Amino acid sequence: MNMENSPQEDQKWQSLLERSKPTFAGDAELPFGFLTSTLARLKAEKRDRDLLERIGLRALFASIAILITVGGVSVGVQLQNRFDFDPAVQSLIQADDVPIS
Amino acid sequence: MDSPIDVADCLQRWKQGDESAAEELIRHLHPVISRIVRTHLPRRDHEDDVIQEILMKTFSRLHQYKGDAPMSHWVSRLALTTCLDRLRAQKIRPEVRWTDLTPEESTEFDAAWLGSTTPDATEAIHARDLVDKLLSTLSPSDRSLILLVDLEGRSLEEISQSTGWGISKIKMRLFRVRAQLRKMIQNLEQRK
């Protein structure tokens, strides 16, 4: 940055930044124990994610199974009820020999 | 700087459950993340925790990385966003007064005025604490902006790419931030 024409305050700011520059540099090497703890956290998070995924999949399959069962039962009940007439209607059908389709 | 390791190969191996690939990626990304965290967050913030948080985010979002830009660029953006989110959770100081400075910071303030010799490690830390105090009066995005320009020497185009802001917006903000910093330094000078 060209500081020749900038106010004194700008120069002061730049000088402060310059003096503190070493503290802004990143670590070239990993701090002690960092890799181990990061890998452990990563493993734990992955395990949790996998577990959640499995639970989610199981819940999905369970809901589908319940839906199929409930659907099957209701269709069955409906088919059963189809021929389940009132006794008066039943006798009329028998008397007139009405074909039931 | 993706050359020392084959990032694509590491990603593939990590997907297949190879933990050594994660280790390689962490070793490769750590210096990049560490530099960003150290630049954009105050010195006393829990640096290792933030770096770990960024790495966790990186690994959980790896499926979003398309490979069209170097991985370090993608991770840098993620790191910067995380730092900004963290800064947003902190309070902005209304101003810095001379009485807020420690004796060491006051000495550093004068040393900077005189443009004195190269500081030793302790002096650098005191200068950094003073810089952090001045920066704590700025909004998180203004704070990052001034550091990207004055410390990292990034061009307006580069900043525009990494932040998504337009060039004119960046120029305007920069002008405002500089005015704010000048005013604070003037105030400190007058209230000695």
Delineate the domains of chain B, giving CATH numbers in brackets: 7-89 (1.10.1740.10), 98-191 (1.10.10.10)
**pLDDT tens by residue, A31-55:** 888 888 888 988 888 888 888 888 9
Do the chains contact at A12 and B39, CB–CB below 8 Å?
no
Q: How many separate domains does chain A show?
A: 1
A63 lies in which domain range? 51-95
Chain A neighbors of B36, CB-CB under 8 A: 26
Which of B51, B155, B183 has the highest number of chain A CBs within 10 A, making it the mutation to test binding with A? B51
pLDDT of A59 reads: 92
Query: What pLDDT band is residue A3 in, cutting at 50, 70 and 90?
Result: very low
pTM of the model: 0.71
Instruction: Report, as an integer, the average pLDDT of A60-73.
Output: 94
Residue A64's pLDDT is 94
Contact B21, B10 (CB under 8 A): yes
Contact call for A7 and B39, based on CB within 8 A: no
The tokens describing B18, both together, are 């190879």
Tokens, residue B75:
């991770």
- Closest-CA distance, B117 to chain A, in angstroms, reads 9
Of the partner residues B111, B124, B185, the one whose CB lies closest to the CB of residue A9 = B185
* Rg of chain B on CA atoms, in Å: 19
Q: What is the pLDDT along chain B (192 residues), one digit of tens a residue?
A: 445 678 888 888 988 888 889 999 999 999 999 999 999 998 866 888 999 999 999 998 988 888 888 888 899 989 999 999 999 888 888 888 888 999 999 988 888 866 567 788 888 999 999 999 999 999 999 999 999 999 989 999 988 887 888 999 999 999 999 999 999 999 898 876
Q: Closest Cα of chain B to A64: distance in Å?
A: 28
B137 CA to chain A: closest CA distance, Å? 14
Please report which confidence band the pLDDT of residue A101 belongs to, taking 50, 70 and 90 as the band edges. Answer: low
Whether residue A48 lies within 8 A of chain B, CB to CB, comes out as: no
- Note the pLDDT of residue A6: 62
Instruction: Assess if residue A15 is contained within a domain.
Output: no
| B125 min Cα distance to partner chain A (Å) | 6
How confident is the model over B45-94, as pLDDT tens digits? 688 899 999 999 999 898 888 888 888 889 998 999 999 999 988 888 88
Query: Is residue A87 situated within a structural domain?
Result: yes
In a domain, A82, yes or no: yes
At residue A99, the 3 state secondary structure works out as coil
- Is A21 within the bounds of a domain? no
Record: contact B112-A22, CB cut-off 8 A: no
Amino acid B192: pLDDT: 64
**Residue A26 is assigned to a structural domain of this protein:** no
pLDDT for residue A5: 52
Pick the residue of A8, A13, A46, A50 with the most B CBs within 10 A to test the interface with B by mutation.
Answer: A13
A83 occurs within a structural domain: yes
pLDDT band at A83 (very low <50, low <70, confident <90, very high): low
**Residue by residue, what is the 3-state secondary structure of chain B?**
CCCCCCHHHHHHHHHCCCHHHHHHHHHHHHHHHHHHHHHHCCCCCCHHHHHHHHHHHHHHCHHHCCCCCCHHHHHHHHHHHHHHHHHHCCCCCCCCCHHHCCHHHHHHHHHHHHCCCCCCHHHHHHHHHHHHHHHCCCCHHHHHHHHHHHCCCCCHHHHHHHHCCCHHHHHHHHHHHHHHHHHHHHHHHHCC
CA distances from B81 to A45, B49, B87, B155, B183 (A): 21, 15, 10, 19, 28
Residue at A55 is within a domain = yes
Identify which of A19, A26, A39 has the shortest CB distance to residue B22.
Answer: A39
Task: Give the pLDDT of residue A76.
Answer: 87
For A27, the token pair is 């670590």
pLDDT at A2: 45
The answer to whether residue A64 is domain-embedded is yes
Whether A1 shows a pLDDT value over 50: the answer reads no
Q: What is the pLDDT of residues A11-28, one digit of tens each?
A: 889 999 998 988 888 777
Between A and B, how many CB-CB pairs are < 8 A? 105
- The CA distance from B126 to B109, in Å, is 9
Q: Are B181 and A9 in contact (CB under 8 A)?
A: yes
Handedness of CA A42, A43, A44, A47 (dihedral sign): positive
Q: Is the dihedral of CA A2, B41, B131, B192 positive or negative?
A: positive
